[in-house]
Amino acid sequence: MQIGLFGGTFNPIHYGHLRAAKEVCQGFDLEQLYFIPSALPPHKNNQEVVSVVDRLEMTRLAITGNPEFILSDVELKRPGLSYTIDTVKHFKKSLNTKVDLFLVMGVDAFMEIDTWKSFKQLFQILPMIIMTRPLPDGRPHSLEWENMTAFIQEKISRSYQFSVKDGCYYHNRHHPVYRYNISMLEISGTKIRKQVQQGQSIRFLVPESVENYIYERGIYA
């Protein structure tokens, strides 16, 4: 059985996350994908991040009706900053040893991985799936992949070599890192928060249940 771990601030969760999750599940035959909202994200401006309770609830609403998507509150239960390495170790320990785990993230997140706690260890623990994400100024995403090759070889290990056939970086001792082209949806939490603040509609950027929750709770206003 193959299971994905998809962490994020989800401030709020939006269709960029949801469509990406669906395409990765289909592309990699993942039977389940855990959405793991970060309780205290180490790399975000925490003033802009609404409470983890609200972010968990919006995520729950957004994934309702998709049995392969599972909400995890593991980072809420752990005190202190939310580090991916701790979350990955938690799932490795708690899930059946026959499960193949994959860490899923966008290429923007991957290109900052060298700032994460014990990041090199992650490559020794599990394979990763790295998804395309539109560049803000419309540059072609082939550029992201070129940068990624330089990045993975400089920051992680020179021995990572790309296989065009498999769309994957392989290493003789570390786990593979897959590159995956998904539908490009130029949606971000930043954009949604700004739209709400400016009184503009966020319809079709987030599920209606999330939109209603945002207005009912008056968050991001």
The site for ligand ATP (CB under 6 A) is made up of: 8-11, 16-17, 20, 105-106, 108-109, 131, 133, 185, 187-190
Nearest CB to ligand ATP, comparing residues 142 and 172 = 142
Tell me the two tokens of residue 60.
């729950």
Nearest CB to ligand ATP, comparing residues 30 and 187 = 187
Nearest CB to ligand ATP, comparing residues 172 and 201 = 201
Question: Nearest approach, Cβ of 100 to ligand ATP (angstroms)?
Answer: 20
Question: Nearest approach, Cβ of 54 to ligand ATP (angstroms)?
Answer: 13
Question: Nearest approach, Cβ of 139 to ligand ATP (angstroms)?
Answer: 15
Nearest CB to ligand ATP, comparing residues 8 and 169 = 8
Cβ count within 10 A of residue 118: 14
> CA dist 122 to 114, 169, 204, Å?
11, 15, 35
Question: Nearest approach, Cβ of 110 to ligand ATP (angstroms)?
Answer: 8
175 and 124 in contact (C-beta within 8 Å)? yes
Question: Nearest approach, Cβ of 190 to ligand ATP (angstroms)?
Answer: 3
Nearest CB to ligand ATP, comparing residues 97 and 137 = 137
Q: Which residue is nearest to ligand ATP (CB)?
A: 106
